[in-house]
């Protein structure tokens, strides 16, 4: 799975898990019901995990590794994609047009590797445009 950059989340493929999850009333799955994201899961693990762990908020990946690599990617995109290229993005990439220079760089890399219309069609417009 990791070779294809897929994140495996097997519990969500388990039919018993799916049945249990689908039988929970939608209101009980909402943040308002527990005052915290994923509150129902946190409650399920109360007594098994320390409260200090149960109270942790979900954070973006970059929070765990630092922001310098994110800034480096943005700086690279700013240095390699001209304003003129970004303005012409809709002509070059009519489907899923990149909305910023960072998305433009990723779209260029995608098209270099998988450039066919069929490959582009397999990706969502949002994923291609960085939106």
**pLDDT tens digits for range 29-50:** 888 777 888 888 888 899 999 9
**Which range, 19-28, 52-61, 110-119, has the best average confidence (pLDDT)?**
19-28
Beta bridge partners of 49: 46
Crossing angle for the helix pair 101-114 and 68-80, to the nearest 10 degrees: 80
Name the 3-class secondary structure at 42.
helix
Q: Is 27 inside any structural domain? A: yes
Q: Are residues 101 and 122 located together in one domain of the fold?
A: yes
Name the 3-class secondary structure at 11.
helix
pLDDT band at 83 (very low <50, low <70, confident <90, very high): very high
CA atoms within 13 A on the CB side of 72: 5
Q: Is 1 inside any structural domain? A: no
Reference 95, options 59, 67, 76, 119; nearest CA is 119
Q: Are residues 38 and 68 located together in one domain of the fold?
A: no
Query: 131: which residues sit within 8 A by CB, 6+ positions away?
Result: 99, 103, 125
Q: Are residues 67 and 125 located together in one domain of the fold?
A: yes
| For residues 88-110, average pLDDT | 91
The total of structural domains in the chain comes to 2
Q: Are residues 42 and 24 located together in one domain of the fold?
A: yes
pLDDT more than 70, % of the chain: 73
More confident residue, 95 or 25: 25
- Among 25-29, 116-120, 125-129, the range scoring the smallest mean pLDDT is 125-129
pLDDT band at 115 (very low <50, low <70, confident <90, very high): confident
| Full domain range(s) for residue 38 | 8-58
């Amino acid at each position: 799975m990791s070779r294809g950059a897929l994140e495996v989340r097997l519990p969500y493929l388990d039919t018993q898990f799916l049945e249990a999850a689908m039988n929970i009333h939608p209101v009980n799955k909402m943040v308002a019901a527990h005052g915290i994201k994923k509150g129902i899961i946190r409650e399920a693990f109360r007594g098994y995990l320390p409260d200090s762990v149960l109270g942790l908020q979900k954070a973006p990946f970059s929070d765990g590794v630092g922001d310098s690599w994110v800034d480096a990617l943005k700086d690279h995109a700013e240095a390699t994609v001209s304003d003129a290229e970004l303005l012409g993005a809709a002509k070059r990439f009519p489907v899923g047009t990149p909305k910023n220079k960072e998305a433009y760089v990723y779209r260029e890399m995608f098209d270099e590797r998988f450039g066919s219309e069929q490959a582009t069609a397999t990706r969502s417009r949002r994923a291609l445009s960085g939106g």
